[in-house]
Chains A and B, each alone.
Chain A
Amino acid sequence: MSRLIVMIAQRLALGVFTMFIVSIVIFAAIEALPGDFAQAILGQGATPEAVAAIRDSLGMDRTAVERYFAWLGGAVTGDFGVSFSQLSFQSQYGQTGERDVVTVADQLRPRFANTIFLAATAAVVAVPLSLGLGILAALYRGSVLDRIANIGSLTSISSPEFFVAYLLILFLSAANPIFPSISKIHADLDFWQQVYRTVLPALTLTLVVTAHMMRMTRVAIINLLSSQYIEMARLKGVPRWRIIVHHALPNALAPIINVVALNLAYLVTGVVVVEVVFVYPGVGQLFVDAVKLRDMPTVQACCLIFAAAYILLNLTADVVSVLTNPRLRHPR
């Protein structure tokens, strides 16, 4: 058991280290971006003095390394700084009164909750659906069902998601007004109202991620069907469905879990396009808006959240797939 704990601790440490490297990359990438927020916000009327004043108030005069550690220190404690676009620069023009300052964290919190809600809705449908389809496709390998599942999943995986999204809008919103094409959700709506408005973006995401998970489930199971213990199970008179579910699936879990984690991470990070199409108020939309406004603290925070989601989900997948291995769970 202790070996397992050491292994999990190692993975966690590695995850933290990866996060650290990613934060450097994000910060460096944003440093390297051309353009200047002060210039952008002042536009035509930018005088050198005004630009310098704003730069000064943002701490741009410090070295990059100093700013990085200040940012990192804040990020670790949940303080991502103050959003540029919400900043009041009145103070620069002689007024000293403290106004309501909107921090990046304040802005992110509801958006993040919305994104997680969308991802969770899609995941709740997509994961069981794709595992079930994958198992059925393996069970009836070569049958019509298998072929339909394969062709269907290939089609959905090879269409761009905005295309899938517009098709859904066309058929389920424009032609047959069943679901709203704009997923404007907010905290005042009751839960089922929120779900109702989330159906189309969630369906789009489901169609995009199901294919990958289904095909991996099918292949992971089929790869094991030539194992000797599967032949043994057949020779014990075990029915075919039970061979797949009871004998093959437990041994195929590791690759399946990894693909599921990868797709869940995509549900969090890959929603940008879908959120924009459906005007869904999630992190993706915020991210796009922040980039347009050159609102660097928000962009950085969004990148960091996306990276954290990826790392956390892959870490979980690693640990869980280790746990599915009886050799590691039950050492000699």
Chain B
Amino acid sequence: MDVMTDGNTLLTIRDLRIEGLSGEAWLPIINGVSLHLDRGEVLGLIGESGAGKSTLGLAGMGFTRDGCRITSGSISFDGIDLVSASPERKRSLLGRRIAYVAQSAAASFNPAHRLIDQHTEGPVLHGVSSREDSREDARSLYDRLRLPDPGNIGFRYPHQVSGGQLQRAMTAMAMSCRPDLIVFDEPTTALDVTTQIEVLAAIRDIVEQFGTAAIYITHDLAVVAQMADRIKVLLNGDEVEENDTRTMLSHPAEPYTRSLWAVRSFRRPEQAPAPAGTVPVISIRGVTAGYGADIDVLHDVSFDIHTGRTVAVVGESGSGKSTVARCITGLLPPRQGEVRFDDEVLPPGYRHRTRDQLRQVQMIYQMADTALNPKLRVRDIVGRPVQFYRGYRGTRLLERVEELLSQIELDPGQFINRLPSELSGGQKQRIGIARALAAEPRFIICDEVTSALDQLVAEGILKLLDRLQRELNLSYMFITHDLATVRAIADEVVVMKDGHVIELGAKTDMFSPPHHAYTDLLLSSVPEMDPDWLDRLLAQRGRNNIGEAARLGIDRAAHRQSTL
């Protein structure tokens, strides 16, 4: 059934309900959400995981993933009813009039074909243009999206192109048929901040240039503030509220929205710096380390971590943050340099460390999902290190596990016999913390512990870590790429790039100019909750001084300095 609509409306979704098959039962994913999108308009969909953002975005394309079904409601795209349209009809729209940009470009490009062949596939199949014309067009799109070497980059395979470039190539591919609507599904979530910013700028430019309407799905409020004209907030498949971006940011109406907005305001009280001459808990001195035969990943890394303080190690992927952690824990013996604990040199490999030395250094991991043994119950996961390091058994052990669970704010009676699969993401991460605490360490390495979590849950974890630090006088090394987290919890900051420590110092110093050029780039690339932030930044720094180009500029400057 095709309905006439006024000329400006592109997409209308009315009271849409979608269910997903979970085991034997159909569970609701979207409970009656409506949506309206005009031509050339950008709508931001935000919400935490499980809010139904992606499902709703895909439904706007008339597409449901396998195991999902539309139970009621209507989806009308430019007068075409997508719920009742035949698969053939929908297929003729997909790619041609409605396109999709996925979260992980690396996984969404077919590894077996060159970028350009994947780019031209849509236009040729839909009869929009010839292969030759589409290739030409790809080159000009690559150029507009500021990809390096636009004439030739298309002839590479996906694995030969970096993540940020792939994401832009995917945006180009979505544009290949000049669609009326593009659904962007978390296109920058998997990218580093400095890469994210150039992808954001590229997406926004091209959408404006072609007047394409877009649905922009993300969980990052600061990102959506830059991209969207209007914002719709979703929670567990229900709409919370919708408004234009500026109103939404300045006057959120619903308490849930306000709580989302408030997350980034968490600040831990500053601590006074450690007095000069105190012995640090952990001291890393001149560590050089690497994995292969002779390629070093870390170069002469040195920094100290004092009792009761949090040192944030920041840097982009590949900067060597996690490798430092592996050197401290002894998983990767350094080639040169040493790690001291309380001024006592730790043996390089964990096999040579005493049980007490092992006990003092514990780790909490990013993916609580994979860090917990799925076959063990909470009592065993937490009980095992208690038994190993403390030798407790029987009721003594049980009491200690219960005490630890209370410390991480989980009710022992309710959780002690659960399997990891019966816990939420935040609860799993809390169990990960309890397991680290079970050893009664003085020093804990937190490796991206909040980056896989929703913002509200992440905030809870940060607050818990802060409380535990104060109560137990713990020291943390906090590995993260998220500078908002750094601002929230760090006392000191170590900035790493390509295995070198670029800059280190107290947080207040690090967050106020003048900075090292790279720190400045990192800091300025973090989106802010201000709709004009991206414009202002682009005006300030210039188009060619963000992301990859800026990083190369810094490298060149450093090279010039070192050769002088």
* A interface list, Cβ under 8 A from B: 226-229, 231-239, 242, 247, 250-251, 324, 326-327, 330, 332
- Bound together, the chains give a CA A139 to CA B65 distance in angstroms of 17
Let me know if B104 and A234 touch, CB within 8 A.
no
Can you list 20 A-B contacts with CB-CB less than 8 angstroms, sorted by A residue number?
A: A226-B66, A228-B108, A231-B108, A232-B100, A232-B109, A233-B110, A235-B100, A236-B122, A237-B92, A237-B94, A237-B95, A238-B121, A239-B125, A242-B125, A251-B112, A327-B111, A327-B159, A330-B156, A330-B157, A330-B160
In the bound complex, what is the Cα–Cα distance between A12 and B486 (angstroms)? 53
B108/A232 in contact, CB under 8 A:
yes
**Nearest Cβ in chain B — how far from A332, in angstroms?**
5
* Shortest Cβ gap from B163 to chain A (Å): 13
Q: Give per-residue flags for B149-169: 1 if the beta carbon is below 8 A from chain A beta carbons, else 0.
A: 000000011011000000000
B63 touches A234 (CB 8 A): yes
Closest to A326 in B: B157
A229 touching B160 by the CB < 8 A rule? no
In angstroms, how far is the closest chain B Cβ from the Cβ of A229?
Answer: 4
CB-based contact B95/A235 at 8 Å: yes
Is the beta-carbon distance between B107 and A326 smaller than 8 angstroms? no
List residues of chain B with CB within 8 A of the CB of A332: 159-160
Residues of A contacting B99 with CB < 8 Å? 235-236
The 6 closest A-B pairs by CB, nearest first: A237-B94, A237-B95, A236-B95, A250-B112, A228-B107, A235-B100
Contact B108 A229 (CB under 8 A): yes
Most chain B C-beta atoms within 10 Å of own C-beta, residue among A227, A231, A239, A327 = A231
B110 cross-chain contacts in A, Cβ below 8 A: 229, 232-233, 247, 250-251
Residue of B nearest to A232 (CB): B108
**How far, in angstroms, from A97 to B101 measured CA to CA in the complex?**
86
B359 CB to nearest A CB, Å? 42
Task: Give the Cβ gap from B444 to chain A, nearest Cβ, in Å.
Answer: 35
Once bound together, how far apart are the Cα atoms of A179 and B111, in whole Å? 48
Nearest residue in A to B117 (C-beta to C-beta)?
A: A246
CB distance from B173 to the nearest CB of A (A): 8
Closest CB in chain B relative to A38 CB, distance in Å: 59
The residue among B61, B112, B173 with the most chain A CB atoms within 10 A of its own CB is B112
Whether the pair B109, A229 counts as a contact (CB closer than 8 A) is: yes
Task: Give CA–CA (A61, B289) in the complex, Å.
Answer: 62
In the bound complex, what is the Cα–Cα distance between A327 and B159 (angstroms)? 7
Given contacts A228-B102, A229-B107, contact A237 B93 (CB under 8 A): yes
| Beta-carbon contact of B112 and A326 below 8 Å | yes
CA distance A251 to B489 in the complex (A): 45
Whole-angstrom CA separation of A231 from B268 in the bound complex = 43
> Which residue on chain B has the smallest CB distance to residue A251?
B112
- Given A239-B125, A242-B125, A332-B159; 13 other pairs, CB 8 A cutoff: A227-B107, A228-B104, A232-B100, A232-B102, A235-B99, A236-B95, A236-B173, A238-B95, A238-B121, A238-B122, A247-B110, A251-B112, A326-B157
In the assembled complex, B126 has its CB within 8 A of some CB on chain A: yes
Q: Write the chain B residue with the least CB distance to A324.
A: B112
Dominant SS among interface residues on chain A: helix
Residues of B within 8 Å of A228, CB to CB, are 102, 104, 107-108
- Return chain A residues, CB-CB under 8 Å to B63: 234-235
Q: Which residues of A contact B91 (CB under 8 A)?
A: 237, 239
CB neighbours (8 Å) of A237 from chain B are 91-96, 122, 125-126
Does B418 belong to the interface (CB within 8 Å)?
A: no
| B390 interface contact, C-beta 8 A | no
Measured in the bound complex, the distance between the Cα atoms of B67 and A226 in whole Å is 12
Cβ–Cβ < 8 Å partners of A242 in chain B? 125
The number of inter-chain residue pairs (CB within 8 angstroms) is 75
**C-alpha spacing A227/B112, complex, angstroms:** 13
With contacts A234-B63, A235-B63 taken as known, whether A251 is within 8 angstroms of B94 at the C-beta atoms is: no
Question: Do the beta carbons of A235 and B61 come within 8 Å of each other?
Answer: yes
Closest B residue, CB atoms, query A225: B66
CA A250 to CA B122, docked complex, whole Å: 19
- Which single residue of chain A is at the shortest CB-CB distance from B156? A330
CA distance A250 to B157 in the complex (A): 14
Bound together, the chains give a CA A327 to CA B92 distance in angstroms of: 33
Q: Which B residues from 67 to 95 make CB contacts under 8 A with A? A: 91-95
Instruction: Answer whether residue B516 sits at the interface, using C-beta atoms and an 8 A cutoff.
Output: no
Q: Does B113 contact A (CB under 8 A)?
A: yes
Contacts of B156 in A (CB 8 A): 330
Chain B residues numbered 96-155 whose CB sits less than 8 Å from any CB in chain A: 96, 99-100, 102, 104, 107-113, 121-122, 125-126
B residues within 8 A CB of A330? 156-157, 159-160
Contact indicator B94/A234 (Cβ below 8 Å):
yes
Would A326 and B159 be within 8 Å (CB), given that A227-B107, A232-B109, A247-B110 are in contact? yes
Residues in chain B near residue A233, CB distance under 8 A: 110
Contact in complex: A235, B159 (CB < 8 Å): no
- How far is B96's CA from A234's CA once the two chains are assembled, in angstroms? 12
Complex interface residues of chain B between 428 and 460 (CB less than 8 A to chain A): none
Q: Within B279-333, which residues are at the interface with A (CB < 8 Å)?
A: none
Question: Measured between alpha carbons, how far is A244 from B416 in the docked complex, in Å?
Answer: 47
List residues of chain A with CB within 8 A of the CB of B100: 232, 235-236
Chain A residues with CB below 8 A from B111, complex form = 229, 251, 326-327
For B66, give the chain A residue with the smallest CB separation: A226
- Rounded to whole angstroms, the CA-CA distance of A233 and B118 in the bound complex is 9
Contact between chains at B107 and A236 (CB < 8 Å)? no
Task: Select the residue from A232, A233, A236 with max chain B CB neighbours within 10 A.
Answer: A236
The CB with the most chain B CB atoms within 10 A, among A229, A233, A242, A326, is that of: A229
Give Cα A237–Cα B111 distance, bound, in whole angstroms. Answer: 19
For B92, what are the chain A residues with a Cβ–Cβ distance below 8 Å? 237
- 8 A Cβ contacts from B44-68 to A: 58, 61, 63, 65-66
Query: How distant is B157 from chain A, measured CB to nearest CB, in Å?
Result: 5
B122 to chain A, nearest CB (A): 5
Shortest beta-carbon distance from B66 to chain A in Å:
8
Q: Which positions 508-533 of chain B face chain A at CB distance < 8 Å? A: none
- Measured CB to CB, the closest approach of chain A to B205, in angstroms, equals 23
> A236 to B94, Cβ gap below 8 A?
yes
Instruction: Please give the distance in Å from B91's CB to the nearest CB on chain A.
Output: 5
Contacts of A234 in B (CB 8 A): 63, 94
Q: How far is the CA of A330 from the CA of B158 in the complex (A)?
A: 10
Report Cα–Cα, A251/B111, bound state, in Å.
8
Question: Which residue of B is nearest A332, CB measured?
Answer: B160
Check if A235 sits within 8 Å of B112, measured CB to CB: no
Of A232, A250, A330, most B-chain CB atoms within 10 Å: A232
Report how far A332 CA is from B160 CA in the complex, Å: 5
A235 CA / B54 CA spacing, docked (Å):
13
Q: Tell me the complex Cα distance, A332–B104, Å.
A: 19
Q: Give the contacting residue for A236; candidates B104, B112, B121, B159; CB below 8 A.
A: B121
* Inter-chain contacts of A229 with B (CB < 8 A): 107-111
User: In the complex, what residues of B have CB within 8 A of residue A251's CB?
Assistant: 110-112
User: How many angstroms from the CA of A250 to the CA of B113 in the assembled complex?
Assistant: 9
Q: List which B24-38 residues lie within 8 A (CB) of chain A.
A: none
Residues of A within 8 A of B65 (CB): 231
Q: Which residues in A have their C-beta under 8 angstroms from that of B112?
A: 247, 250-251, 324, 326
B100 and chain A: residue at smallest CB distance: A235
Q: How far is the CA of A228 from the CA of B100 in the complex (A)?
A: 12
Closest to B65 in A: A231
A267 to B93 alpha-carbon distance, docked (Å)? 48
